[in-house]
Amino acid sequence: MARIRIEGLLAAFPKLIGSGKQHTFVETENVRYVYQSLEGLYLLLVTNKQSNILEDLETLRLLSKLVPEYCPGLDEESVCHMAFELIFAFDEVISLGHKENVTIAQVKQFTEMESSAEKQYKADMLSKINETKDLMKKKAQEIEKLRADKRVDRGGISGGLSGMGPGGGGQMSINNGFPEMGRMGGGGGGGFGGPVSTGPEPGRPGGSLGAPSKGMGMKLGKSTKTNQFLESLKAEGEVIVEDAAPASSAAVGLGGGGGQPAFVATDPITILVEEKLVVAWKRDGGLENMEVQGTMALTVLKEEDAFIRIQIEGGHDKSFQFKTHPNIDKALYGGQNILGLKDPNRPFPTGSPLGILKWRMQSKDETVVPISINCWPSVSGADTYVNIEYEATQAFDLRHVVVEIPLPALREAPTLKDYDGEPRYDARRSVLEWCIDLIDNSNRNGSMEFVVPATNPDVFFPIEVRFTSAKTFCDVKVVSVTQSSSGQPVKFAGRTQMSVESYQVV
């Protein structure tokens, strides 16, 4: 159908409808107009006279339900603002002039599908960022090496001049050792302050070798031109994750760094006690189900350290069900709470975490859940007021708490009335994130209120919750690690944490 023909049919429609008529369709010689009033606008469906009017009315009703989903205001400005979204939604309902058998939920799902082009763009950007990071590291190492070589040259010249005077032989022997020490200590980016340590030279202040170069290494790395590319990416809204300094890798691996760092085993023997929480709350109140899944994982870096046994304590709570790895000696575990292999002459696997003990617990007791969420949406006139609150138990201190509340499609951010913590509006995902860094005895209760245009209260569910804690439900802990043959104690590093696998208010 030509554009002129469509414009002519639309221009004729206002002349055909009269005031005071209750009809929902108007027929001309060639076409039928099926329409519905939406406040100050008309939703119009143009068909031929041979089409099934009952099916046309059903199509019109579905379209009329879609319009408020994308245009809460139902005015001309709102429709113009969301024109492309409406076109895409209508296109899912009508295909080649015929109605598709779809629901509103399916239409929204189809129009929000991920873009392969967007994924490719993000992958390309990530690749560029990684290449830039590698280039920055190489440049920093090259500059640091040049700095170290210049320091060695300056030290050799000054030593040679002092060696010409009386007693210069001793100075010459010390200066001849500088290049060797420079090669050993300079490779780590810290100048001469490496693993080799020597006493202060006569007439030279102690510690003067390593002190200046440690600070300069960081300064040189930050001043490279390649860092400008990362700054431009940050200005465009990209999230840049910088590598941690090597000196702090062990601390980050043991949970001493940022928000939720990945666990990195850097000690010869590392034991991680971790619990995952699965919770389902009913929106009207009441716990639907809670499940705790725990794991004790052992990581050994070298095979010579893998001939060990692990003494644990706790685990007497009858509500937990425990299972050991098939290769663990169950008699030894049941009698003495010791986790060891059936064959003591066989080492534990090395290089990757091995789950040696697992436990599980299910409950419908609301009092044991670390945090409960209540959401109260209410429609008043043209607005919907949403009050949401949390209540945490005394048993756990929670960190990095994030409560995600789904929102309807909005043109502007929701209006915040009163809140604790830090709310963040994600317009792309149409989600309001309520963030609380730490919940302890000072803030076991909190609330937030916000306002959006009038909508169906079901839109605000399901609510997703995430958090972490350094304490677990099960009281299992590692007492000691000993060698299998001699029984001598062995040093080990441990970490305990609880996190959320799934927490929903449905």
CB atoms within 10 A of CB 285: 9
470: tokens are: 């350094």
Reduce the DSSP state of residue 64 to 3 states and report it.
helix
What is the biggest distance separating any 2 CA atoms in the chain, rounded to whole angstroms? 121
pLDDT tens digits for range 243-268:
444 433 333 333 333 345 555 667 88
pLDDT tens digits for range 458-483:
999 999 999 999 999 998 999 999 99
The torsion angles phi and psi of 247, rounded to 5 degrees, stand at -65, -25
205: tokens are: 């202040």
> 432 with 50: CB under 8 angstroms?
no
Reduce the DSSP state of residue 122 to 3 states and report it.
helix
Question: What is the per-residue DSSP string for 379-411?
Answer: EETTEEEEEEEEEE-TT--EEEEEEEEE----S
Reduce the DSSP state of residue 313 to 3 states and report it.
strand
Reduce the DSSP state of residue 27 to 3 states and report it.
strand
175: tokens are: 């200066």
pLDDT tens digits for range 11-25:
887 777 765 565 688
Q: How confident is the model at residue 291 (pLDDT cuts 50, 70, 90)?
A: very high
Task: Using alpha carbons only, give the angle 56, 57, 58 rounded to the nearest 5 degrees.
Answer: 90
154: tokens are: 């300056």
Lowest-pLDDT range of 199-208, 264-273, 365-374, 458-467: 199-208
> What is the DSSP code (8-state) at residue 370?
S
Reduce the DSSP state of residue 234 to 3 states and report it.
helix
Q: What is the mean pLDDT of residues 155-169?
A: 44
Q: What is the mean pLDDT of residues 138-149?
A: 86
Query: At how many degrees (to 10) do helices 116-163 and 227-235 cross?
Result: 150
Residue with tokens 């944490």: 497
In sequence order, which residues have a C-beta less than 8 Å from that of residue 11 and are 6 or more positions away? none
Alpha-carbon distance of 497 to 471, in angstroms, equals: 6
Lowest-pLDDT range of 37-46, 139-148, 161-170, 488-497: 161-170
Alpha-carbon distance of 399 to 17, in angstroms, equals: 62
pLDDT tens digits for range 400-431:
999 999 999 888 899 998 899 999 999 989 99
The closest of 271, 265, 255, 324 to 481, measured between CA atoms, is: 271
Q: How confident is the model at residue 222 (pLDDT cuts 50, 70, 90)?
A: very low
Q: What is the mean pLDDT of residues 104-123?
A: 77
Alpha-carbon distance of 210 to 220, in angstroms, equals: 16
Q: How confident is the model at residue 311 (pLDDT cuts 50, 70, 90)?
A: very high
Alpha-carbon distance of 450 to 403, in angstroms, equals: 14
Q: Which ranges constitute the DSSP H helices of 31-115?
A: 53-70, 76-81, 83-93, 104-111
Quick one: pLDDT at residue 189? 38
> 500 with 399: CB under 8 angstroms?
no
Task: Using alpha carbons only, give the angle 325, 331, 337 rounded to the nearest 5 degrees.
Answer: 75
Quick one: pLDDT at residue 195? 39
Q: How confident is the model at residue 59 (pLDDT cuts 50, 70, 90)?
A: confident
Alpha-carbon distance of 266 to 261, in angstroms, equals: 14
Compute the chain's Rg from CA coordinates: 34
Of residues 72 and 29, more confidently modeled: 29
In our burial notation (b when 16+ CB lie closer than 10 A, e otherwise), range 35-59 reads: bbebeeeeebbebeeebeeeebeeb
Helix%, strand%, coil% for the chain, nearest 5:
35, 30, 35
Reduce the DSSP state of residue 285 to 3 states and report it.
coil
Reduce the DSSP state of residue 91 to 3 states and report it.
helix
Quick one: pLDDT at residue 249? 38
Quick one: pLDDT at residue 43? 84
Mean pLDDT across the chain, nearest whole number? Answer: 78
Measured in whole angstroms, the distance separating CA 460 from the mean position of its chain's CA atoms is 21
Quick one: pLDDT at residue 241? 52
Q: Is the pLDDT of residue 234 over 90?
A: no
